[in-house]
Homo-oligomer: A and B are copies of this chain.
Amino acid sequence: MKVVITGGAGFLGKKLAQRLLDRGTLVGPSGKQEKIDELVLFDVVQSPVGKGDARVSPIAGDIADRAQVNLLIGNDTDSVFHLAGIVSAGAEADFDLGWRVNLDGTRHVLEACRALPRPARLVFTSSIAVYGGELPNPVTDATILTPRTSYGAQKTACELLINDYTRKGYLDGRALRLPTITVRTGKPNKAASTWASSIIREPLSGIDAVCPVRPDSSMACLSPRRTIDAFIRAHDLPGEALGAYRSLLLSGIAVTAAEMEAAMQRHAGNRKTGKVLWQAEAPTQAIVDGWPKASRGSRADALGFTVDASIDEIVQAFIADDLDEQIRGLG
């Protein structure tokens, strides 16, 4: 089968691509696990994953260019993981770019899927940024969608499209509302949540990290490991298990910035750690304050999606999976 990952050079895209190459299979058109013959990694830059692996085709391009997307998702495509997008602070900083990439880019992906001879499975990364304003703690499946950022509005609009295309039988969609994914590797990005990785990652790499929000700021957190698990699970579930409503809130545990710093220190061992510099900035604090402090997706829980036991587990997974590479990458 042929699988396409948009955002295949991004943090989650690379991890997903590697996991798919390691597994070698996904549920295919037969409804059973089938061999992945071709894995297309689309992004603004060439994805470095799977170099020399004959199954992998890295393609650099623009998701907002409809013609490119039509070429990308050709007739033999069975499954699409649509991860490409502009992150929250990026979409906030450039209104037009955010709507163009996050909404119009997704519409191109959906239209390309609709043109396929049989409905492809589509896994879409939505976000708990679909919630905003006065929120219950935790947010749940029953919480109304009132995004307070362009990014959140764009993700919500994409969910609506995916539900409608699925209802019409044009594709077989699944939209996952991701909590804050931590610990991310690489450098800080433009997401307003980037500190939730930086204040763990940088100090463990021996570098100081600025935290632009107050220590008591809480985020709903999920580890990259469990996020990739969730992508595979969402893809492989039969559509009937999801029913008519294809948006799924994933659970994320509540962790404050102070608790992240403490867990980082608890698991640092004999490493010489950098410091967390507390420099709250009003604009970032305002965005983060409008986000959920924790999420409990009972529907996803019942479908077998799993959540990290604690911030300790999250930090330990980062140290086991990513820290060495992180230090080499920056070194």
Contacts and interface: CB of A to CB of B under 8 A. Distances in A.
Interface in A118-166: 133, 141-148, 150, 153, 156-157, 160-161, 163-164
A132 to B, nearest CB: 9
A156 B163 CA distance: 12
B147 A144 contact: no
Contacts of A277: none
A167 B95 CA distance: 12
A278 interface: no
Contacts of A168: 95, 150
A245 interface: yes
Interface residues of A, number: 22
A231 B150 CA distance: 26
Contacts of A303: none
Interface of A: 95, 133, 141-148, 150, 153, 156-157, 160-161, 163-164, 167-168, 244-245
Contacts of A150: 164, 168
A191 B153 CA distance: 27
B167 A160 contact: no
Secondary structure of the A contact surface, majority rule: loop
Contact of A157 (B143, B157, B244): B157
A267 to B, nearest CB: 38
Contacts of A160: 147, 153, 156-157
Given A161-B153, A161-B157, A164-B153, A146 B95 contact: no
A130 B153 CA distance: 15
| 5 closest Cβ pairs, A-B complex | A153-B160, A153-B164, A157-B157, A157-B160, A144-B144
A150 B14 CA distance: 34
Contacts of A153: 160-161, 163-164
Nearest to A142: B144
Contacts of A164: 147, 150, 153
A148 B95 contact: no
Nearest to A114: B95
Contacts of A142: 144
B156 A244 contact: no
A245 B167 contact: no
Contacts of A145: 144-145
A306 B240 CA distance: 42
Nearest to A290: B244
Contacts of A156: 156, 160
